[in-house]
Amino acid sequence: MAIAPAIALASIATPACSHDGSALAGGFLAGFAHPFGGFDHLLAMVAVGLWGAFLGRPLIVVLPVIFPTVMAIGALLAMVGLRLPPIELGIALSVLLLGGAIAGAVRAPIWAASLIVGIFAIFHGFAHGSELPSLADPLAYSVGFVLATGLLHVAGIALGLINRRPGGKMVTRGAGALIAICGVYFLYRASMG
Amino acid sequence: MTGGPFAPALLCAALGFALAFAPRGSVLPSLLGLVAAAMAMAFVPLAPAWRETAFLVCWATLILTAAMVHLPGGPGPKLALALGVGAGAAGGAIVSVAGVASDLLKALPWALLCVPGAWLVARGQGIAIKVASSWLIAVAILAAALPITPTPGYEPDHMQ
């Protein structure tokens, strides 16, 4: 059973793929690195997972499922050339509000939490989509940034597991407060921008 | 990355995730349907003009298949078989227009993700499969959009 994924991985790996001179590595790596390249993206992604873990089932599943899907739609909007309000403000607000929700232990109903995360996902997706490189491999770039985003959510959920320990909720709320403070800074920087 | 085994492999992975939630008895018929349909379609000579259509169908099939992880109780036997045949036909068509027959050997094993997936589901960890499926859906949405939308290229980053 355990070797099934190994067989699948081995079957698709091509030994020369990192040396063939194609844009594959650059596209994927650039996309994967993008969410890690800015603390605003990174903190928002982690906050989504952390808030989901704080809210428990079903939102621990729903939020990380909604975010990448809506984010892809946001990227699509960027690719067709739609204009949105300043993206930096939306992203900074996402960091501030998601951090604030964790710090304040806000137990939003399912629809509200989904709506909030969905709206912010559009801004993050829009930022990624407007930067999709046309010269590199855009599909590989997309795979990279979706994977990185998902892994950051998982990191947030993993951090949120500390809630189960005594005093864990205070630690989580403290982390949320730190994220919110960063959000204030991002918002200040974006408004000066 | 658009040619070769990549798109069929993602499609097979999506099928594997969906089958992780299916009744155990319906997995093998679905996998056999996948292999049979893929091999049949891979040898159907499709005109190059069908390339974009084949990819669009592939991504749409992937989104539909990956979304099945959210079906209460998972896909039943008939649906699982239909998903397998559909994934095979869509993947085979990609191989026909944008790859070589050996690409199937690299793509089809990804459907075996149903084995560790079912193991996770049986232990109440199906959440991981659902999250991973949403990643596949996101990639498919973007991949489907890329050929029909002009990408802006290297514009200044919002962080720059």
- Closest-CA distance, B44 to chain A, in angstroms, reads 23
Contact B62, B133 (CB under 8 A): no
Specify the pLDDT at position B28. 95
- Kindly state the tokens that stand for B23: 């009744």
Specify the pLDDT at position A11. 45
Alpha-carbon distances, residue A128 vs A39, A155, B22, B104 (angstroms): 14, 20, 35, 32
Q: Which chain A residues are within 8 Å of B109, Cβ to Cβ? A: 7-8, 11-12
Backbone CA torsion sign across A153, A149, B55, B107: negative
Testing the interface with A: which of B70, B105, B131 to mutate, by most A Cβ within 10 A? B131
What's the pLDDT tens digit per position in B31-67? 999 999 999 998 888 888 888 889 999 999 999 999 9
What's the pLDDT tens digit per position in A159-172? 888 877 788 888 88
- Closest-CA distance, A97 to chain B, in angstroms, reads 20
Q: Which chain B residues are within 8 Å of A93, Cβ to Cβ? A: none
ipTM of predicted assembly, 2 dp: 0.71
pTM for the whole thing?
0.79
The mean predicted confidence, pLDDT, of chain A is 78
Could you tell me where the DSSP H helices lie in chain B? Answer: 6-19, 27-42, 51-67, 77-98, 103-107, 114-122, 126-145
* Burial of A192 per CB tally in 10 Å (0-12, 13-18, 19+): exposed
Mean pLDDT of all residues in A12-20: 37
Mean pLDDT of all residues in A101-110: 88
Do B141 and A78 count as a contact with CB atoms less than 8 A apart? Answer: no
Specify the pLDDT at position A133. 53
Mean pLDDT of all residues in B100-113: 90
Specify the pLDDT at position B64. 95
pLDDT beyond 90 at B79: yes
Testing the interface with B: which of A1, A79, A141 to mutate, by most B Cβ within 10 A? A79
Give the rounded percent of residues in chain B with a pLDDT score beyond 70.
90
Residue A79 parent element (H or E): helix A59-79
Residues of B with CB under 8 A from a CB of A: 1-2, 5-6, 9, 13, 105-107, 109-110, 112-113, 115-116, 119, 127, 130-135, 137-139, 141-143, 145-146, 149-155, 157-159
A142 → closest Cβ in B13, B106, B139: B139
- DSSP track, A103-116: HTT----HHHHHHH
C-alpha B105, offset from chain centre = 15
More reliable by pLDDT, B19 or B46: B19
Backbone CA torsion sign across B14, B16, B21, B23: positive
Contact A137, B143 (CB under 8 A): no
Peptide bond into B72 cis (omega under 30): no
B142 → closest Cβ in A1, A142, A154: A142
- Residues B38 and B12: their CA atoms lie apart, in Å, by 10
Mean pLDDT of all residues in A83-111: 87
- Kindly state the tokens that stand for A21: 């001179």
Question: Could you count the other beta carbons within 10 Å of the beta carbon of residue A97?
Answer: 20
Contact B75, B26 (CB under 8 A): yes
